Structure 1
Amino acid sequence: MEQILVAGANGTTGKKIVQLLHDSQYFNPIAMVRKEDELPYFKAKNIDTVLGDLEEDISHVFKNNIDKVLFAAGSGGKNVVGVDQEGAKRLIDASKKNNIRKFVMLSSMGADEPSKAEELQDYLKAKHNADEYLKDSGLNYAIVRPGSLTNDELTNKIELARKLNKRGKISRNDVAQTLVHVLNDDVANKATFEILSGETLIGEALDKVSAD
């Protein structure tokens, strides 16, 4: 089974990602959390964990022979430069040193052109800078940019395009499912795309993703 380091594992979407990986026959998640009191939630489910702060040195989190990395961390607007931007860069650099086979980035719709956003410009600029850093890193990557996140049920269906040219919503469950699909070797390599709720099965939509 491939070892998947999940940064931001304790977040609302992060927990869904980790559970999907844990239930998978292909992947074993390593939940990266920042605080000691976040460990018991995962340990109670027999999920591997590692303590790591994206604002500090994180070289030690790769001691578990990590194969791929999924970045789902965020500061919730409290420290977008320190976590969403520089924390992502720190993890990308560490991934390069450890020859990670794929880095999947949970980004955001609007991160391609943050200056055009009516709100959350600082956040989108941080995401943009992290995305561009990943593209230039030499790593194999996938950058997934969902619309506004909801807590709706899983539909297993999305609308996907490199640029959708419209706003919309998508459930965290469908985002998590998409991210886990993208971890597969034959899906969305060196690709960036946007997703919203839609009518196409996630697997079918991802079959049409092409490299940047």
Structure 2
Amino acid sequence: MKVLVVGANGTTGKQVVEKVANSKQHEAYAMIRDEKQAGALKKLGANVVLGDLEQDVSDALRGMDAVIFAAGSGGHTGDEKTIAVDQNGAKNIIDEAKNQGVKRFVMLSSMGTDAPEQGPEGLQLYLRAKAIADEYLKQSNLQYTIVRPGTLSNDQATGKIDINNDIEDKSQTIPRADVAAVLVECLNEEATIGKTFEMLAGETEIEQAIKFTH
């Protein structure tokens, strides 16, 4: 599949790009706003397309089979930017994916979006924006998967996660590399279509965990 990675220049996004590019099933397309970002992403094995979340993204999505949305303000860029990226930017990509006939959409969301008002005060708007985008995706008729990791770390990948009811301690973290691996693996696992799940570092191999067999 031709896979467009949105948020490709971010810390997690770059790892997603690299994993898509290294997979045998997929071809990586990195969406960037600035051509100066192209060199590093091409070195990871990606094709590069120009597009701005807050503008017309029709050219970026043309010919794509799938989208991995890994963009995010992280809740630390101010309220206006959070809504522009995490809420309206996501909606913009979802709408254009529908217009272009893209079938598959994997969304990087966040643990806590099911109850934003219970989140840390500084992150409540971010979680609310993510929640609105997630719900918009669910209503889109796209073949979606919504992945909600806990706090991201820069630790080395373990290849093992816990999801949903297997999570006992939500204060745990998860390496970005494992999150990236899950996002890409969701493209290969039909059992994830129509699913929304939380995840943290854990004890189950990624491929097995996302089969939802237990």
Task: Flag whether TM exceeds 0.5 (same fold).
Answer: yes
| Preserved contact between residue 21 and residue 44 of structure 2 (Cα < 8 Å) | no
Superposed CA RMSD in Å reads 1.6
Cα 1:209–1:31 change in 2 (3 A) is farther
Paired position in structure 2 for 1:42: 41
Cα 1:206–1:49 change in 2 (3 A) is same
Unaligned runs of 5+ in 2: none
Q: Which letter maps to 2:105?
A: F
1:20-99 correspondence to structure 2 within 5 Å? 20-63=19-62, 65-76=63-74, 77-78=76-77, 79-99=81-101
SS at match of 1:183: helix
The whole-number CA distance in structure 2 between the counterparts of 1:165 and 1:72 is 26
The whole-number CA distance in structure 1 between the counterparts of 2:148 and 2:72 is 14
- Is 1:129 matched up with 2:132? yes
CA deviation profile, 1:120-179 (whole Å, cap 9, x unmatched): 001000000000000011111000000000001111000011684742210001101111
Where has structure 1 moved over 2 Å in runs of 4 or more? 43-46, 162-166
Cα 1:195–1:45 change in 2 (3 A) is closer
SS at match of 2:188: coil
Provide the identity percentage. Answer: 47
The whole-number CA distance in structure 2 between the counterparts of 1:209 and 1:191 is 13
Deviation at 1:205, TM superposition (A): 0.5
| Structure 2 residue corresponding to 1:156, chosen from 154, 159, 165 | 159
Deviation at 1:118, TM superposition (A): 2.4
Cα 1:27–1:162 change in 2 (3 A) is farther
| Larger helix proportion of the pair | 2
Range with bigger deviation, 69-78 or 160-169: 160-169
Count residues in correspondence: 208
Q: Which letter maps to 2:42?
A: K
Q: Which letter maps to 1:70?
A: I
Q: Which letter maps to 1:93?
A: D
TM-score of the superposed pair, with normalisation by structure 2 = 0.92
| Structure 1 residue corresponding to 2:114, chosen from 98, 112, 115 | 112
- Is 1:172 matched up with 2:171? no
- Is 1:192 matched up with 2:191? no
Deviation at 1:209, TM superposition (A): 6.5
Q: Which letter maps to 2:184?
A: V
The whole-number CA distance in structure 2 between the counterparts of 1:11 and 1:101 is 24
| Preserved contact between residue 160 and residue 193 of structure 1 (Cα < 8 Å) | yes
Deviation at 1:36, TM superposition (A): 1.7
SS at match of 1:192: strand
CA deviation profile, 1:176-210 (whole Å, cap 9, x unmatched): 11111001252301000000000100011111169
The whole-number CA distance in structure 2 between the counterparts of 1:146 and 1:30 is 23
Deviation at 1:117, TM superposition (A): 1.0
Cα 1:37–1:162 change in 2 (3 A) is farther
The whole-number CA distance in structure 2 between the counterparts of 1:134 and 1:165 is 28
